[in-house]
């Protein structure tokens, strides 16, 4: 049985980040997002990742750094090797792989926030 290893950058703003390594079963045709969802369902449900359409490349919410290059987790193929996943570097980090992607004037604010 082949496996894929996902090295995922974890953390929240204001804390030291860390890397967690997860190994999942690999089947040809799976996406990186499939691998992260498998991690969440079988190993660590606290891994934060944003997605909506799952594999249509329509919502654009799953954009992350994959091996140092910007890509959509739902359309990038999982490979039977170690793959390094990070949040987008030019966006505000929310947690783990999730960054703030809404335009500033479209963000919800708490009363008193600017």
In the complex, which residues of this chain contact ligand FES (CB under 6 A)?
51-54, 56-62, 72, 74
Residues 6+ apart with CB under 8 A from 56: 74
Name the residue nearer to ligand FES (CB basis): 54 or 101: 54
Residues 6+ apart with CB under 8 A from 19: 7, 8, 9, 10
Least distance (Å) between residue 42 CB and ligand FES:
20
Name the residue nearer to ligand FES (CB basis): 10 or 34: 34
Least distance (Å) between residue 110 CB and ligand FES:
27
Name the residue nearer to ligand FES (CB basis): 46 or 57: 57
């Amino acid at each position: 049985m082949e496996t894929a290893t996902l090295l995922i950058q974890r953390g929240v703003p204001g804390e030291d980040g860390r890397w967690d390594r997860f190994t999942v079963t690999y089947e040809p045709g799976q996406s990186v997002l499939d691998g992260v969802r498998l991690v969440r369902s079988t190993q660590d449900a606290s891994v934060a990742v944003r997605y909506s359409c799952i594999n249509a490349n329509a919502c654009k919410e799953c954009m992350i750094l994959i091996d140092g290059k910007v890509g959509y987790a739902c359309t990038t193929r999982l490979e039977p090797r170690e793959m390094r996943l990070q949040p987008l570097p030019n966006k505000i980090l929310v947690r783990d792989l999730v960054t703030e992607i809404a335009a500033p004037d479209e963000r919800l604010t708490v009363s008193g926030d600017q």
